[in-house]
Each structure stands twice: as structure tokens, then as C-alpha cells.
Amino acid sequence: MKDHDAVNTNPKRMRERRKEWELGFRRFTVNRGHNTNNYREASIRIFKDIVLQRCKAFNMCALADFVLKTFEIYHRKRLLHFANSRSRKMTLDYQKFFEKSKNITEVTQVDEKTFKVQSEQTLEYYVVDSLQNK
């Protein structure tokens, strides 16, 4: 068991914090019995936003074809990419962010938490507060 300590730590931590996420402990939470609706709505929203990209042009035949063929190919590619490159989601998100921000050349630090960033297209500067969301 000593070799598998790293594998066993996460379930132990989850069990210790079960009062935060187990529905049995959350019976006094005001959700009016909508637990399954919230999960279903979230999964449908993800399906519409990410997979269908908010496209409303699907009829029933095209939607069935898309889900059975294209969606399967999409998942296969994502799983293969993840398995072959062995990269974590955080790394992938960082790489996307880095690609978007590689054209930023003019950044001036105003104080400890504030920066001035020049626009890519105009000579305007934007003031960015790095601690705003904390």
C-alpha cells in the first residue's frame, strides 16, 4: 500500500470534506429539489456552447448525425491528444493564454498591482488591476 499513497490521498481528502458536497449533508440548502435540474442544465449548456457552438441550424437528422459521428470523432481526438501529450488542462489553458498574449509588447508597471498595457491596434493604453478578482 505504501506505493499507492499518492493515489489514496485524494479520496481520503474528499471523504473528509464530504459535508461540503454530499447531497445527504446538504438537505438544509435551499435548492427546492432542483439538484438534478441544475446538473442537467449545466451539461446541456456545455453541450450547446462548446460542442454545437450555439449553432441553431441543426434539424433532427443533422443533430443525430452530428452527435453520432462528428461528436465521437471530436472526443476521440481530444482523448488521443490528452493521452499522447500527457498534458494537464492547466498547461493547455496556459498555452492558449500565452498564444493570445504573445503580441503584447508594451507593458508598464504603475504600482505593485496596476499595469499599463498598450493596445495592439491603436496607441491607446489600458490600465489593468491584477488584484481586482481576488
| pLDDT tens column, 39-79 | 777 777 877 776 676 676 678 887 787 778 877 887 788 78
- Whether the model pTM is above 0.95: no
pLDDT for residue 134 is more than 50: no
Cβ–Cβ < 8 Å for 100, 113 = no
Condensed to tens digits (0 to 9), the pLDDT of residues 79-90 reads 888 778 766 666
Spell out where the chain has E strands.
107-109, 114-118, 125-129
More confident residue, 108 or 105: 108
